[in-house]
Amino acid sequence: MKVVALVSGGKDSCYAMMKCIQYGHEIVALANLMPADDSVDELDSFMYQTVGHQIIVSYAECMGLPLFRRRIQGSTRHQSLNYKTTPGDEVEDMFMLLNEVKRQIPSITAVSSGAIASDYQRLRVESVCSRLGLVSLAYLWKQDQSLLLQEMITNGILAITVKVAAIGLEPSKHLGKEIAFLNTHLHKLKELYGINVCGEGGEYETLTLDCPLFVNARIVLDEFQTVLHSPGSIASVGVIHPLTFHLENKETAISLSNNDKANYSSLGKNGSVFEVQGDCPQRNEATCQSNAERTNLVEVSDDRIYISRTKKDNIFSICCWLQDSCKNSAGSHEDLAIVLKHIESQLTGCGFGWEHVLYIHLYIADMNEFATVNETYVRFITQDKCPFGVPSRSTIELPMLQASLGRAYVEVLVANDNSKNVLHVQSISSWAPSCIGPYSQATLHKEILHMAGQLGLDPATMTLCNEGPSAELEQALENSEAVANVFNCSISTSAIVFTIYCSTNIPLPERLRIQEKQDSFLKQMRLLQLEKGSKCKILYPIFLYVLVPDLPKRAFVEVKPILFVPEDTETAVTSVQNPTSFTVANCWGFQHVQWHDSCIQSCVVSGKICAVILSITEDHVAKICSESLGVKEKDVDYHNSVSKGDMERVSRFCVYLLDKGIVENGFSWEDTMNLRIYFPTNSSIQLETLSLLFKNAMNELVEIDRRVQIGKEPIFNIVPVLGSGSSAASMNNIITCELFARKF
């Protein structure tokens, strides 16, 4: 991509440019924001470094690139973390600056910044980029600061301190010193006082005088004045005011290695400086379409729209799909618009909106339509409608047409409060894959971390690793771990459930390797957490593998973890058995036998969470039906298919075993957040029939046991797949049930 780099003069913005070039991008322009008054060194700005701004003009000549500058006219008006366009705010100066750069150089598609740890600054850069249709590149984001500082020094960043403002940094001793000279001292201060060695907490600011990007000249600071802002305090604040400086020409052949010559060959010999003035014209930045356009949908009769909803009032799931594809439908995007409209209506009826949605499962019939589907999605779910953060999301292709469903199928998880903590990083970095779209990496709500589906993408390039399914899985797990670390947890110790979607494009021999890779990765990560002295109590998650036709970007695997992040680290994570009176077995004729245990996986956080995965294989069906019919198991002949009568007994058995599992752990059906029933589309049972059988089984349960209450809509979703199971090697279950219940 062609990149305009935001430069402050500091080491971070310069090294961020070097990382952009390392990853194959081209720096074509520089952009800088400076004080309105040239004599002012430092502004009271939450966003911009301005100390040393007098020297930034030289960057154009040093790099041979055009430099666009704007005087800061705004102030800090919008101080909350998530930025909203605010006239007169200093962020609008950045918007006007980059808007003019884009106007003059239309080929620019990305913006580079040196953000390392500040969400405040990153979110504002991302906001401006989103409004201008640009990609944010933040290759220093979430990098280890000790390693990063050493990298800068090793890779030729010659930067001096131009501001110090931390205990242990004295203006008389440490201003004007190179970062290489201060490296050891900064690490000592980190041990003593916990400072950020890269200065991310405002401990110090730097000015880069030379680096490999400066192909034409280096900057020599001849004379400067030290200005003290708070002399005599514990942490004296001092800045450098440059008085005179000059440029010292250098031969490119001397300053660059052969590799660097190739990397920086696009940097020219001449640079020009443009000052951007005035206000930019008002423009319509909205990406969503008008209400008139949104309501221009094909009419669908109510009997073709299927809605399910769990019983819980404070947190519940709503699911909607079409019984078959509309004859006049133009594709997945039109079916999705119908489904989202009906979910929106359901939310409104409950007094909620999209801002209350924590997570969205987006299922589509054809991944080739993903781009148009996403365009439809953003007509409904936008950042403006979700001021506390857009929901996290997973996107999967399902064989819906084979199941006589429409082309789009959506499940949303809804909460009746806005206490969620959303992680939404749109910048491309080396940390974890960015969210180039209206979804978030993860949403934490009431101690449960709902993570977006993770692909095996290399974060820095946003491309899939090309070493096969196992390598993709490992990268997806690493990406998941990076996201989990932001919430001070690990997928190896805090995961409750792992759902691993596997593309049908995975060769059969590779499926076994996928599971081996998953097991070994988590084991290694768990040992690493123990070595770090982690005090988190270890959860042992349950696993569900789902075989699907396709995944975004034609990925082999997509990993979707759910984690428990306790507010109290002493929370018990082991199951406490709490048997209660159990009458369903006698009414349906089921009695517990040992093989029942082989059907069920569970992960329980006592008094808080109960997660269950129930797997019914052909062997299990034979046992269930032989017990129900009073015949020998060998006399039950399926001919690779299950009859409606058999499936009726299986559905009752599933409800019986799920009920037993949640009741024995002190939960009820009213605690259910979601219940998914996966079935293979090669089954002889139609989805509509299966749905009716499970609905009848649930109704029978209500009649049998008055403690069970459910609403008028089914509390379960029927999910058509190519296969599912608790093992990647054998995703051939007849039925798989996934239940997640929690108490508040």
CB 215, CB 59: distance < 8 Å = no
How many helices (DSSP H) and strands (DSSP E) are in the chain? Answer: 20, 29
* Dihedral angle computed from the Cα positions of residues 198, 200, 205 and 210, in that order, rounded to the nearest 10 degrees: 50
Cβ atoms of 102 and 257 closer than 8 Å: no
Task: Give the burial class of 132: count Cβ atoms within 10 A of its Cβ; 0-12 exposed, 13-18 middle, 19 or more buried.
Answer: middle
Matching residue, tokens 């730097």: 206
Segments of the chain with pLDDT less than 50: 253-262, 265, 268, 281-295, 572-585, 631, 633, 635-640
Report the relative pairing of strands 305-309 and 408-415 from DSSP bridges: unpaired
Enter the CATH code of domain 2-250.
3.40.50.620
Tell the CATH topology of 601-629+642-723+730-742: 60s Ribosomal Protein L30; Chain: A; (3.30.1330)
- Is it true that 302-418 and 601-629+642-723+730-742 share their CATH fold? yes
Which residues, 6+ apart, have CB-to-CB distance to 682 below 8 Å?
722
What is the structure's pLDDT at 294?
44
Is 726 within 8 Å of 499 (Cβ atoms)?
no
Superfamily of chain region 419-568: RutC-like (3.30.1330.40)
- What is the amino acid identity at position 110? A
pLDDT at res. 713? 83
What does 233-275 look like in DSSP terms, one character per residue?
STT--EEEEEEEEEEEE--HHHHS-HHHHHHTTT--S---EEE
Element (H, E) at 193: helix 179-193
CATH class of residue range 302-418: alpha beta
Q: How many angstroms separate the Cα of 622 from the Cα of each of 19, 627, 631?
A: 60, 9, 10
pLDDT tens sequence across 339-377: 999 999 999 998 999 999 999 999 999 999 999 999 999
Using the 8-state DSSP alphabet, how is residue 60 labeled? Answer: H
Each residue of 54-101: pLDDT tens digit?
Answer: 999 999 999 999 999 999 998 888 888 888 888 999 999 999 999 999
pLDDT at 535: 66
Residue pair 385/354 in contact by the 8 Å Cβ criterion: yes
Rg (alpha carbons) of the chain, rounded to whole number = 29
Residue ranges per structural domain of the chain: 2-250, 302-418, 419-568, 601-629+642-723+730-742
Query: How far apart are the C-alpha atoms of 363 and 441, rounded to whole Å?
Result: 18
How buried is residue 227: exposed, middle or buried, by Cβ count under 10 Å (0-12/13-18/19+)? middle
